[in-house]
Structure 1
Amino acid sequence: MKWVEKQGVRLEKIQPGKPQQNAYIERYNRTVRDKWLSQYIFETIEEAQDHATAWLWTYNNERPNMGIGGMTPAMKLKTAA
């Protein structure tokens, strides 16, 4: 909480039992768990961080997202600019 305050970030909480209020994040978290987190056993935090970084790059740059018309998030960002 101290870090949040120092950064000037305002936290908004959803109502308990209402994940649909945060649907995009809930869906992303499910994808992360299903597609890589539950697939591996990590020996160190560093190993998990390295794997997460590689997976996130693939997610944003190579993996088509059907929710945005089969584009990657990187492609969608380029068309929005």
Structure 2
Amino acid sequence: MSKETGLTIGFIQLGKPTQNAFVESLNGKFWNECLNHHWFRTLEEARYKIERWRHHYNLVLPRSSVNCMSPVEYAKQTA
């Protein structure tokens, strides 16, 4: 346990991806929606396309948890 934060770092067991389902879900979406759709010719192209996907996923993509609104729409509604 860290004295500064009071938090304990916990690691998942090897071969047990279900212990961190959020990361596994995001990883699967990233592969299915981004990496499987693009053939990157340069590092700059990869950075650009991955950033576009990240922006869309984090700000534009509707979420069922907030009545099928995008995070930006939800933030505007609650402000």
For normalisation by structure 1, the TM-score amounts to 0.68
**1:30-55 Cα shifts (integer Å, max 9, x gaps):** 00000011111000111111111111
Larger Rg: 1 or 2?
2
2:27 pairs with 9, 21, 29, which one? 29
Identity of aligned residues (%): 33
Deviation at 1:66, TM superposition (A): 2.7
Secondary structure class of the residue paired with 1:54: helix
8 Å Cα contact 1:62-1:72 kept in structure 2: yes
Where structure 1 has 5 or more consecutive residues not aligned to the other structure, the ranges are: 1-9
Q: Distance in 2 between matches of 1:13 and 1:45?
A: 31
1:1-81 equivalences in 2 (<5 Å): 12-67=10-65, 69-74=67-72
The answer for unaligned runs of 5 or more in structure 2 is 1-7
Are residues 29 and 69 of structure 1, via their aligned partners in 2, closer, same or farther at CA, if it must alter by over 3 Å? Answer: farther
The Cα RMSD (Å) is 2.6
Counterpart residue identity of residue 33, structure 1: W
Letter aligned with residue 33 of structure 2: K
Q: Give the conservation status (yes or no) of the 8 Å contact 1:59–1:72.
A: no
- Relative to the length of structure 2, the TM-score reads 0.70
Change in Cα spacing, 1:21 to 1:72, as seen in structure 2 (3 Å) is farther
